[in-house]
């Protein structure tokens, strides 16, 4: 059987590294054609040595020479720059794992789909920013977008063998490290505390998004596009144990949930093997270790980012794109200790209220909205950090 030829965008990140771990189990099933990174050139070179892809890309041109030197004895092509990220997804490949973080992942995903290449999508910001254009492209080119995010993989798995009939979906949320806390606590939270997620080990940006609950808001918007739902069909429930990964409620009142240990390698593997499954040796779930599963409502009065994302979901247009851009900027600033935990929300809200709204944006409109929301957010960050 022919091997599935994979491109991993963002192979040096949390999802990217775990994708390589999954692939390493099945050398006869998959071949890694391309890997890409940004700052972590040493790890990218190490991965190239272990997997011998045809092409290795650093998105940041300043790292080109270092990467080229590190791989000079290997038969691999070395490329640099964001254009190269678009080039490598349009070649002779079978699946692109989109594991870049943020808006930067949008163009390579669109390019892959335009070239008829299926995408395993971890990069949720792509759908938050331009979900209408991404899904329209996938439909027009008749290619799949396979979710990697654990909640969306859960829903996708629950929908296998179904033929419509979704009443609503219920996205589960761990609640993050500050579950149950109130504003008087959150106002003093610093980066190192916010980076300690109870259940998942992930990249820094999504870990902060999980602490503010913005991650769940982004996931509501992601779900809206992936499964073609109305905003009112998407619900969030807090489930601190993170073993029910999400639930679909059908029109006949039946519920289907997908469960498992909180381990991203499982949804990553499913995205790679879909529609089939392959045996692995990952740790197995046992009810004995989880005698109590609990559920609660999200506290959107305290965790206002989730309320803002719900507003963006409801209003649509370029508002989710504006929110996402401001969020990327404030998370970056918070990680650099420039602004406080709650100031992130204030800046996002102001960007959402001030940036020009467009009801039916084009791709160029999204790019422009992203840019202006970032500029405004940066200005507000500078004011707060003075
Ligand atoms: P990481 O920060 O760990 O990894 C991001 C990857 O993207 C790295 O390879 C990084 O390169 C690369 N990168 C960063 N900036 C750019 C850029 N401007 N252009 C091109 N490449 C860039 O993130 P995660 O793996 O945690 O998350 C990736 C995506 O998957 C996010 O959208 C996240 O929301 C989503 N996701 C992640 C989950 C997780 O468990 N981590 C779970 C569900 C979804 P380098 O490291 O070399 O600088
Ligand atoms: Mg998730």
**Confidence label for 91 from pLDDT (cuts 50, 70 and 90):** confident
With the C-alpha atoms ordered 78, 82, 83, 85, is the resulting torsion angle positive or negative? positive
The residues near 113 (Cβ < 8 Å, ≥ 6 apart) are 119, 134, 137, 138, 141, 143, 145
Q: What CATH number should be reported for the domain whose range is 4-147? A: 3.40.50.720
Beta bridge partners, 249, equal: 168, 255
**Cα-to-centroid distance, 164 and ligand 1 (Å):** 32
Mean pLDDT of the residues in the chain: 97
Q: What stretches of 52-125 adopt beta strand conformation (E)?
A: 55-58, 77-80, 95-98, 119-121
380 CA to middle of ligand 2, Å?
29
**65 CA to centre of ligand 2 in angstroms:** 36
pLDDT beyond 80 at 386:
no
At 132-150, the pLDDT tens digits run: 999 999 999 999 999 999 9
Q: State in Å: Cα 17 to ligand 1 middle.
A: 10
Sign of CA dihedral 103, 106, 107, 109: positive
Using CA atoms in the order 3, 119, 85, 42, what is the torsion angle rounded to 10 degrees?
-60
Length of the chain, please? 386
Instruction: For 313-327, give the DSSP string.
Output: HHH-TTHHHHHHHHH
Q: Using the atom order of ligand 1, give the atom closest to the CA of residue 10.
A: 9
Mean of the pLDDT values across residues 45-71? 98
Residues 6+ away with beta carbon under 8 Å from 8: 16, 19, 20, 32, 34, 35, 36, 97, 99
Domain ranges across the chain: 4-147, 149-262+283-299, 316-386
3-state secondary structure at position 71: coil
Mutate to test the pocket of ligand 1, among 7, 10, 12, 40 (most ligand atoms within 8 A of CB): 10
Q: What is the pLDDT of residue 314?
A: 98
**What is the pTM (predicted TM-score) of this model?**
0.98
Q: Is 215 in the pocket of ligand 1 (CB under 6 A)?
A: no
Beta bridge partners of 279: none
Q: What is the pLDDT of residue 1?
A: 72
CB–CB of 88/96 below 8 Å? no
pLDDT of amino acid 197: 84
**Percentage of the chain modeled with pLDDT above 70:** 100
Ligand 1, pocket-test mutation among 45, 62, 99, most atoms within 8 A of CB: 99
Query: Parallel, antiparallel, or unpaired for β 166-173 and 234-238?
Result: parallel
- Is the pLDDT at 200 greater than 90? The verdict is no
How crowded is the C-beta side of 83, counted as CA atoms within 13 Å? 1
CB 299 within 8 A of CB 57: no
- The CATH class of the 316-386 domain is mainly alpha
- Whether 15 is in the pocket of ligand 1, judged by its Cβ within 6 Å, is yes
8-state DSSP, 294: -
Pairing status of strand 244-250 against strand 30-37: unpaired
* 174/184 Cα distance (integer angstroms): 21
Residues with CB under 5 A from ligand 2 (ion): 149-151
- Do the domains 316-386 and 4-147 match in fold? no
The confidence score (pLDDT) of residue 348 equals: 98
Would you state the pLDDT for residue 382? 98
Question: Stretch 262-289: mean pLDDT, rounded?
Answer: 98
% of residues, the chain, pLDDT over 90: 98
Report how far ligand 2's centroid is from the alpha carbon of 352 (Å): 23
pLDDT digits (tens, 9 = 90+) for 208-267: 999 999 999 999 999 999 999 999 999 999 999 999 999 999 999 999 999 999 999 999
Q: What are phi and psi of 29, to 5 degrees?
A: -100, -35
Mean pLDDT of 285-312: 98
């Amino acid at each position: 059987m022919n091997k599935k030829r994979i491109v991993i965008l963002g192979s040096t990140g949390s999802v990217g590294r775990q994708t390589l771990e999954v692939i390493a189990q099945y050398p006869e099933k998959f071949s890694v054609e391309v890997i890409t990174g940004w700052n972590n050139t040493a790890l990218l070179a190490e991965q190239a040595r272990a997997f011998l892809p045809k092409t290795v890309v650093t998105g940041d041109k300043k790292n080109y020479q270092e990467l080229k030197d590190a791989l000079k004895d290997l038969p691999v092509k070395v490329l640099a720059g964001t254009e190269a990220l678009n080039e490598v997804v349009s070649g002779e490949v079978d699946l692109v794992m989109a594991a870049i973080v943020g808006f930067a992942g949008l163009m390579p995903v669109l390019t892959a789909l335009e070239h008829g290449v299926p995408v395993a999508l971890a990069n949720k910001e792509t759908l938050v920013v331009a979900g209408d254009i991404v899904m329209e492209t996938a439909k027009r080119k008749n290619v799949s977008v396979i979710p990697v995010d654990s909640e969306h993989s859960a829903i996708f798995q629950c929908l296998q063998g179904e033929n419509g009939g979704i009443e609503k979906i219920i996205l589960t949320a761990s609640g993050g490290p500050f579950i149950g806390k109130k504003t008087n606590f959150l106002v003093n939270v610093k980066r190192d505390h916010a980076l300690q997620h109870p259940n998942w080990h992930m990249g820094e940006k999504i870990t902060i998004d999980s602490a503010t609950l913005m991650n769940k808001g982004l996931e509501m918007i992601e779900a809206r596009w992936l499964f073609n739902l109305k905003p009112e069909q998407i619900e969030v429930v807090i489930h601190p144990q993170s073993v029910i990964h999400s639930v679909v409620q059908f029109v006949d009142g039946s519920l289907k949930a997908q469960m498992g240990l909180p381990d991203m390698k499982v949804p990553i593997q499913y995205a790679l093997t879909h529609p089939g499954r392959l045996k692995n040796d990952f740790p197995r779930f046992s009810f004995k270790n989880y005698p109590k599963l609990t559920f609660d409502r999200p506290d959107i009065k305290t965790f206002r980012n989730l309320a803002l994302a719900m507003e963006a979901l409801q209003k649509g247009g370029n508002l989710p794109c504006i929110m996402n851009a401001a969020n990327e900027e404030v998370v970056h600033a918070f990680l650099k200790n420039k602004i406080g935990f709650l100031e992130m929300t204030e800046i996002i809200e102001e960007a959402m209220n001030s940036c020009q709204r467009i009801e039916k944006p084009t791709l160029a409109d999204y790019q422009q909205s992203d840019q202006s929301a970032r500029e405004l957010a940066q200005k507000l960050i500078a004011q707060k950090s003075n």
